[in-house]
Every structure is written in C-alpha cells, then in structure tokens.
Amino acid sequence: MVRIGTLPMRLLALRFGADIVYSEELIDWKFLRSKRRYNEILHTVDFVDQTDGTIVFRTSEEEKEKVVLQLGTCSPDRALKVAKLVEKDVAAIDINMGCPKEFSIKGGMGVALMQNLDKACCILKTLVDNLSIPVTCKIRILDTKEKTLEVVQKLAQTGIKAIAIHGRTRDERPQHAVHHDIIKYVSQNISIPVIANGGSKEIEKYADILKFKEMTGCKSVMIARAAEWNCSIFRKEGMLDMDQVIREYLKLAVLFDNSPSNTKYCVQNILRELQETPRGRKFLDCQTLEQICEIWDLGDYCRNKQSEYQKLGIQGRWQVCPDELEPPNKKAKCGDINLNDVFQMKVCFIRANYNDLNLPKSQLHAWVGKNGYKVPTYETHQVEKLFRSILTLNGKKYTSTFWEKNKKFAEQGAALVALYHLGLITEEELIKLGSIIK
C-alpha cells in the first residue's frame, strides 16, 4: 500500500465498511526526522519532515481507534523511538516483515527480517514491553506449512496480538496462486489471531472476502490491491461504480489537503487501463488538485476549499520555508538571503505544464535574445532539501518565495516571476496552470 494508504484512502475504506486500516509502510529513519504538529485547520495530527516540510504521516480523530501504523525497520531502538512518537495517535503498530522489494531487503527490513528471526523477535519484544498499544507484524509464508508455523510460533512468543500472513513466498508475485492451505494450517495451530492476506486476485466483491476468510480459516482478511482498485469492496450493500468512488476519494483528498502527486497516484490505481481513454489521458496531464477535481466536476469545491484554507493560514507545501522548520538549519536560513530590491512573487513551477521547448527559462532566454540583452544569471540557495533561486536580468532581480525541491525547479520558478513582471505571462495564466493559488 505504499503511496496508497494515506489518510484520504484510509478514511474512505473505513466509511465503506473496513474495520481496520493500515498506513503505507513508513521507514523508521524518515519518521525520526519529523516533528509532531497538530493542524488546527484540518484538525489532524501531522508528522512533518523537518528537512523539506513534507507530511510523513497525517491522521485524524475519525480513524484514531482503527488505524495501524505500518513500520519498516531493522532496528529495535529506532522502532521504539518511532512507536513512542505516535503511541497516542494510532490504534496499533505493525512491523512489516513481508515486503519483498529490493529497497526493503537491502536495508535489512521487510522479508529480510524472516532470515534474521532473532532480530525480528527483538524488535517485536522491545515494542511489546514498552508500548501501551497492541503490536502486530506481517510476514510471507515459507516453502512449507511446517516451516511457516515454526516461524509464526517464535514470533508469537514475543507477545504480539496478531499476525498477518501473505500467502505467497518471498519470491512469488501476484500472478502466482495464493497458498490458502498454508495460511489455514498456521491459523489452526496458533493461539493468536491470524489475518489472511494475498487474496486480491480472487476477491472481486464483498462476498469474496468472506469466502477467502473461510478458505483460510482466519479471524480476519487484509486487502490491498482489490481495495486500491475499488475501495467500495468493503461495502456489504454492494460496490459503487468507479466514478462515484473517485469523487468520494477526491472530496477527502481536498478536505485533508492531500498532495496532488499522491492524489494522482491513487486515482491512477483506480483508473488502471482507463488511463488510455481520452478522459484518462486528460487526467494524466493534471498536476494540481484543482485540475484533477475539474475532470470529476469538483473544480469549484476544490477552489473554494483551497481558498478557505489559504485565508485561514494553512501550513502546507505552499507555506514551507526553512525558517518554519524546527530545528532551523544552523548554516543557512531564509533570513540569510539578501532580498533587497528583488521582485518577489509566490509562484510554483509545475513541470508537466511545459515541454522541453517552452520552459520558462527557454521563453525568457528567447525574449532576451530578441531584445539584445545579456543572458540572465541565477543565484540558487539551498537549505536542507529546499531551493530558492534569484534571477538577475538587465540589472533587476526576480525570485519566487515558493521553495522548490531541486535547483532546476527553483530557477524555472524565478524565470516565471521574471516573465510575469515583463508582461510575458499573466496572473490569470499562472492561476490556470496551478502555479498560483488564490
């Protein structure tokens, strides 16, 4: 559920009938560089990355008793530090020991922990002994039911409250059949609840969830891909059509100020092959929440909500500045940049709005050439993972007060400010492009 299990999708699953929801897998070191902050405008608890201001984890009161933080870790100490940070904000902590991705394995996380059971047990025991909330874990099956049961028994001895079992081995993928028999064998021979996972290939409606539960003999069923495709799979009354699901999801994405990139990714997973339709291709060109919402007739809702949040002073990506992050960087801060006599404007550069020939810098350089001016120069400042560039042209300086995530984007943002002041692009055009939020 990486990039899928964010707050809007979790809330949608709960509203459609899910009993428990999991966050996407969050890596311990990324969490440890974040700071907990209560968002008074969204009424959420945010864990904000102190290097770039992005949201590592956002949760709300509505899901507090039902959300499980899924943690990627290979260290008992780091795992406990993260768990202590979120202990009062989530219902449980789950250690991911089933992820087969190379990133996890190389870091000693995910399924790699099944090859190092002593460390796996140490992580779980450390959490169980020091937390007031339940601890669980998720694994993949081994080659035989006997080997799988042996591992589960050892993990269960740490005091975890439940274990999720993905019915495929480390090397098997979704195209391989899930091994119901191994999950069932373990569930019949272990005292703690077993959650069956890996059945999305055969789960197409709510009744299939119950069928999978019966086939595996488990206490519960965990669904990932089938829920990504249509979250209304949890509705006992029957599934809703795709467009209705997308609309409900987008309302939550706007309501909780979800990032455009994450929102787009989640909608892509709902559309799947329909991305190749005319509407799908139009959607793929979108880069802002407003542009995405417009396709599903929610443009006004998005604009109004974003305008409301801006007036209330929301602290989101648009407000990110190194000085607002804690602790401030000791080497450089916003205040260290000389902005005397600099034309400033809050403009965001969105790459998908341009091809290689009409980038803001290219437009500006073409104009400079026609008018006989010297090529503009760029002075770029970096603080942690944030960048801001000051453009000098014909003795005048221009910059965007929006801090970008790389040097190239910062230069393009400064070029947009220059284009605006030169009358080569209007505010209305910048608003339409999503580069300005009013």
Contacts of 276 (CB under 8 A, 6+ apart): none
- Residues 428 and 405: their CA atoms lie apart, in Å, by 25
Catalytic residue, candidates 74, 99, 121, 302: 99
Name the residue among 414, 294, 298, 288 with its Cα closest to residue 353: 288
Q: Which domains, ranges and CATH numbers included, belong to the chain?
A: 7-240 (3.20.20.70), 342-433 (3.30.160.20)
At 336 the pLDDT is 61
pLDDT in tens, 378-423: 999 998 889 999 999 999 999 999 999 899 999 999 999 999 999 9
Res 281: pLDDT: 95
* DSSP conformation letters of 177-243: PP-HHHHHHHHHS-SS-EEEE--GGG--SHHHHHHHHHHHT-SEEE-SHHHHH-GGGG-TT-PPPHH
Q: How far apart are CA 134 and CA 260, in angstroms?
A: 33
Query: Which regions in the chain score pLDDT beneath 50?
Result: 328, 330
Residue where the block lists tokens 């604009």: 303
Pairing of strands 67-72, 92-97: parallel
Q: What is the dihedral angle through the alpha carbons of 156, 158, 163, 166, rounded to the nearest 10 degrees?
A: -90
> H/E element holding 396?
strand 396-400
pLDDT of residue 2: 86
Helix (H) or strand (E) holding 149: helix 145-156
φ/ψ of residue 71, rounded to 5: -110, 135
Q: What is the pLDDT of residues 112-142, one digit of tens each?
A: 999 999 999 999 999 999 999 999 999 999 9
User: In 272-385, at which residue ranges do the beta strands (DSSP E only) sit?
Assistant: 342-345, 377-383
- Mention every residue, 6+ apart, whose C-beta is less than 8 A from residue 14: 21, 62, 63, 66
> Residue 50: its pLDDT value, please?
84
User: Element (H or E) spanning 397, and its range?
Assistant: strand 396-400
Q: Note the pLDDT of residue 326.
A: 64
Measured in whole angstroms, the distance separating CA 192 from the mean position of its chain's CA atoms is: 31
Q: Strands 194-197, 92-97: parallel, antiparallel or unpaired by DSSP?
A: unpaired
Residue 160 is encoded by which pair of tokens?
């975890």
Radius of gyration of the chain (CA): 25
Is 99 in the active site?
Answer: yes
* Token digits of residue 171: 């090397």
- CA 362, 364, 370 angle in degrees (round to 5)? 105
Residue type, 298: L
pLDDT of residue 173: 86
Between CA 81 and CA 18 the distance in angstroms is 29
* C-alpha triplet 264, 265, 268: angle, nearest 5°: 85
Contact call for residues 256 and 8 (beta carbons, < 8 A): yes
Whether 331 and 342 have beta carbons less than 8 Å apart is answered as: no
pLDDT for position 141: 97
